[in-house]
């Protein structure tokens, strides 16, 4: 079956942001772009269309959406999308030669894909990114990966874990297994307590009851 024909191009919006767009001529191409998350540039669009986007073209500001069509990109757009494609490939890695074994407590052996996840996260943080999403399926060890990532932080770092109530105790158990800093961990069941702790594990509802960031900061204040 033939692939939809169009060309991904890039331009600059008036605010300086990068925009990716394509003029699709066939229904197949339009459906492919629409499913991927591209927006349709029409005169009465509720979302302002950047001036660089032709009317009736399909567009997005999100490189992580446009990168799925990198094979359809012109040279300028492809150059802009190649770093994103490399990051995505790194996120699918099943092992890592760059993994730092000092992050692992003695006697523990993370799986290759867990090493890859930790390496991917730390690489993003080193590049100045503020967060990372570990999207492995349930039961594949995202909690140990999170603890290993935390092991890269200074010993005096304070850590907040927000999670469903059903896994609060599991977080405590996994932290004890994978921690290399002998951090103190508190599992919060009462939002009015003020534990002397390094790691605070609290479920969403308790966090909301506690009043959000200000109260949670108080919960983690040493006395």
| Digit-coded pLDDT (tens) for 106-151 | 999 998 889 988 998 898 888 888 888 887 777 788 999 999 999 9
d(CA 163, CA 146): 12
Check residue 20 and give its pLDDT. 97
Check residue 91 and give its pLDDT. 66
Mean pLDDT in residue range 66-79: 94
Question: In 10 A of CB 51, how many CB atoms?
Answer: 10
Taking the model in full, what pTM does it have? 0.61
Instruction: Check the CA dihedral 196-201-203-204 and report its sign.
Output: positive
d(CA 138, CA 136): 7
> What is the DSSP secondary-structure string of 35-75?
HHTPEE--TT-SSPPPTTSPTT-EEES-HHHHGGGGGGB-H
Residue, of 208 and 194, whose pLDDT is higher: 208
pLDDT at 223 over 50: no
Residue whose entry in the numeric block shows the structure tokens 């032709």: 54
Question: Which residues, including other chains, have CB under 8 Å from residue 139's CB and lie 6 or more apart?
Answer: none
Instruction: Tell me the pLDDT band of 221, cut-offs 50, 70 and 90.
Output: low
Check residue 203 and give its pLDDT. 87
The 10s digit of each residue's pLDDT in 44-72 is 888 899 999 999 999 999 998 999 999 99
Tokens of 156: 């005096």
Residue, of 215 and 205, whose pLDDT is higher: 205
């Amino acid at each position: 079956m033939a692939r939809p024909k169009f060309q991904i191009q890039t331009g600059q919006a008036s605010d300086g942001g990068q925009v990716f767009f394509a003029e699709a001529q066939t229904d197949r191409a339009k459906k492919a772009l629409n499913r991927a998350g591209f927006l349709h540039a029409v005169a009465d669009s509720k979302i302002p269309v950047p001036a660089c986007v032709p009317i009736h073209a399909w567009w997005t500001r999100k490189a992580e959406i446009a990168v799925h069509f990198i094979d359809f990109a012109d040279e300028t757009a492809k150059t802009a999308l190649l770093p994103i494609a490399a990051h995505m490939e790194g996120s699918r890695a099943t092992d890592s030669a760059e993994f730092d074994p000092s992050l692992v407590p003695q006697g523990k052996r993370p799986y290759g894909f867990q090493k890859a996840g930790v390496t991917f996260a730390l690489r993003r943080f080193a590049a100045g990114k503020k967060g990372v999403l570990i999207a492995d399926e349930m039961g594949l060890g995202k909690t140990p990966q999170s603890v290993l990532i935390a092991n890269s932080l200074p010993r005096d770092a304070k850590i907040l874990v927000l999670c469903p109530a059903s896994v609060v105790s599991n977080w405590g158990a996994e932290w004890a297994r994978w921690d290399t800093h002998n951090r103190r961990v508190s599992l919060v069941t009462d939002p009015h307590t003020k534990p002397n702790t390094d790691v605070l594990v609290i479920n969403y509802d308790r966090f909301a009851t506690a009043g959000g960031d200000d109260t949670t900061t108080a919960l983690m204040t040493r006395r």
